[in-house]
Amino acid sequence: MTDTHYLVHGVFWPAPPATAPVLRLQAPDGTFLETTLDDGTRLGFRLAAEGKSCLGHHRVHGPAHRDHVLCVGHAPAVRGHQCERCFVADDFRLMHDFHRGGGVPPGLRSYLMQQHWLYVATFASGVSKVGTASDLRKWQRLAEQGAVAASYVARAGDGRVVRVLEDLVTRDGGLPQQVRAAAKAAALAAPAPAGRITARNAELAADARRILSTAAEDGFEIVHEGWNRPRLAARLCTATARHAYPHGLASGSHGFTIRSACGSFVLVRLDHSDLEFVVDLGQLKGRTVELGEHSSEVPAVQESLF
């Protein structure tokens, strides 16, 4: 069991009533193992291969139906988390051009024609973004982003309208549509006070709603609705003493006990140390690991603190 090599697909947040994310691992026989990342979970692993492998592609059949097709060749990842062949076969690839008139297959079309939400998310430094979530993934989308505070600002009739609105908020409000994982991790290593993050989010959401009220677009309504952050994220989003994890996740052995989780980021305690570190488990996506009783080396930062 411990010498099985698993391909890491990433950190996923199931919808409530689930209270913790899972690390999704693909076994060599194509079955999946999900490790729950809860407070107190010990996670130990060793990187078992160099580089990143393709995670396959999705065929979308409708709002709630999609197939995850595994990569037949176990090919290296060359375009994001995919090989060239899976990148081309992926239905979601076409999603981003839909609102600019791009053609999509019927299954993806039916997915995109469901109700969508426009949100403003704020991360631990106050850096914020505008984004979209399909109705069925309304809560998870924000949980997976690692938002510290977020507000829904509009409900749109379909995925085309919501992307037009998203572009409008970016153009007129200056809100980006992406915040890099490295920036989110750095922010969580020294989070701004909770009150400031909440106030910043409320201010930017109000700006976005004002911009949307002038939109020359039908098929949406402005909403005032908050997003409830998972309770497991509380400690990671609070300014307790912590450090950025000093080891890269591309190689080596790692092991720690999870205390808190926000998005793909976890606050962990290393063995034989009371220090806490922020680790981005999202960095494992596409990598091959072997699970086991591994430990992270406690960095020299320890001495400087005492």
Of the candidate spans 3-11, 82-90, 177-185, 242-250, the one that interacts with Zn ion by CB under 5 A turns out to be 82-90
Between 78 and 244, whose beta carbon lies closer to Zn ion?
A: 78
Of residues 22, 71, 205, 232, which one binds Zn ion by CB under 5 A? 71
The packing angle between helices 159-173 and 194-212, to 10°, is 110
Between 91 and 158, whose beta carbon lies closer to Zn ion?
A: 91
Dist CA 149 CA 191 (whole Å): 12
One-character DSSP codes across 17-31: T--S-EEEEE-TTS-
Dist CA 301 CA 279 (whole Å): 16
Of residues 23, 54, 60, 153, which one binds Zn ion by CB under 5 A? 54
Of residues 83, 124, 153, 187, which one binds Zn ion by CB under 5 A? 83
Query: Least distance in Å: CB of 304 to Zn ion?
Result: 45
35: number of CA atoms within 13 Å, CB side?
22
Encode burial over 260-291: b for 16+ CB neighbours within 10 A, e otherwise: bbbbbbbbbbbeeeeebbbbbbbbbbbbbbbb
Token pair, residue 138, equals: 């309304």
Non-local CB neighbours of 142 within 8 Å, separated by 6+ positions: 119, 121, 133, 150, 227
Query: Least distance in Å: CB of 85 to Zn ion?
Result: 5
What is the biggest distance separating any 2 CA atoms in the chain, rounded to whole angstroms? 62
Between 90 and 276, whose beta carbon lies closer to Zn ion?
A: 90
Dist CA 295 CA 44 (whole Å): 6
Of residues 22, 47, 86, 291, which one binds Zn ion by CB under 5 A? 86
Q: Is 55 a binder of Zn ion (CB under 5 A)?
A: no
How many angstroms separate the Cα of 255 from the Cα of each of 3, 110, 243, 280?
16, 43, 16, 13
Residues near Zn ion (CB under 5 A), total: 5
Between 70 and 199, whose beta carbon lies closer to Zn ion?
A: 70
Q: Is 94 a binder of Zn ion (CB under 5 A)?
A: no
Query: Least distance in Å: CB of 82 to Zn ion?
Result: 6
Of the candidate spans 2-10, 39-47, 71-79, 134-142, the one that interacts with Zn ion by CB under 5 A turns out to be 71-79
Between 71 and 150, whose beta carbon lies closer to Zn ion?
A: 71
Between 83 and 118, whose beta carbon lies closer to Zn ion?
A: 83
Q: Is 75 a binder of Zn ion (CB under 5 A)?
A: yes
- Give residues in contact with Zn ion (CB under 5 A): 54, 71, 75, 83, 86
